[in-house]
Structure formats: C-alpha cells, structure tokens
C-alpha cells in the first residue's frame, strides 16, 4: 500500500489478497502483469482523468505522464501520496481531483 502513517491499509489490502480465490488471483496477476495495452491508449475517446500518486513504486509519475500524452485530451492529477492506491490512502486528494475533473 505504501502508506506508512496508515499501516492498517496495508494489512487490509494483504488480507483482501489472501481471501481471493486462487484461480481468480492467478487470472488477475496474468492480465495485470503480462498485458500491454499501450497501443490502445490512443483509441480512447472518453474524457479521462488519470490519478497518479507522486510516490508510487509500481507506477512512477512517468507512467501517468506517458498515459496523458497517449490519451488525447486526458488530464493528469498528481496527488501527494505514497503508494499505488491513492483512492484508499489519500481519498480526499483523489475526490478533489475527480470533482475538479467533473466540473
């Protein structure tokens, strides 16, 4: 999770993974880590908000910047957060970004 001030979030995420059916977890891991959809980003026509943590070990800021360049008209919101799940560990910043985008 990467939220050092909220260790309970990491525990919750770990427990969630441990409760997942192994077949579902295997499928999730396969599509998450082996899929490459970079060529399809240019096909996105829906208004898109990319919420990116400023300190994310799994997807550094350059990933969000790449996506913004690849998705025409998208908006990148970088939130102050450690970790890959800003909607969980920085919900206020994530909601602010979404509300600003929707306005």
Report d(CA 47, CA 45) in Å as an integer. Answer: 6
pTM for this entry: 0.78
- Domains of the chain, earliest start first: 7-102 (3.40.50.1820)
Which runs of E-coded beta strand occur in the chain?
49-55, 75-82
Per-residue pLDDT, 2: 65
pLDDT tens, residue by residue, 2-37: 667 777 877 887 778 788 888 988 898 888 888 899
One-character DSSP codes across 73-102: T-EEEEEEEESS-HHHHSHHHHHHHHHHHH
Q: What is the pLDDT of residues 46-91, one digit of tens each?
A: 999 999 999 998 899 999 999 999 999 999 999 998 888 898 888 9
Helix (H) or strand (E) holding 70: helix 61-70
CA pair distance 71, 67, nearest whole angstrom: 6
Measured in whole angstroms, the distance separating CA 21 from the mean position of its chain's CA atoms is 22
């Amino acid at each position: 999770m990467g939220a050092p001030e909220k260790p309970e979030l990491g525990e919750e995420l770990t427990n969630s993974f441990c409760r997942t059916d192994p077949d579902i977890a295997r499928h999730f891991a396969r599509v998450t880590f082996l899929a490459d959809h970079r060529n399809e980003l240019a096909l996105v026509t829906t208004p898109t908000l990319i919420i990116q943590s400023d300190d994310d070990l799994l997807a550094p800021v350059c990933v969000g910047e790449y996506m913004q360049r690849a998705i025409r008209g998208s908006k990148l919101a970088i939130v102050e957060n450690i970790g890959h799940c800003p909607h969980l560990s920085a919900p206020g910043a994530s909601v602010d970004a979404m509300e600003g985008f929707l306005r």
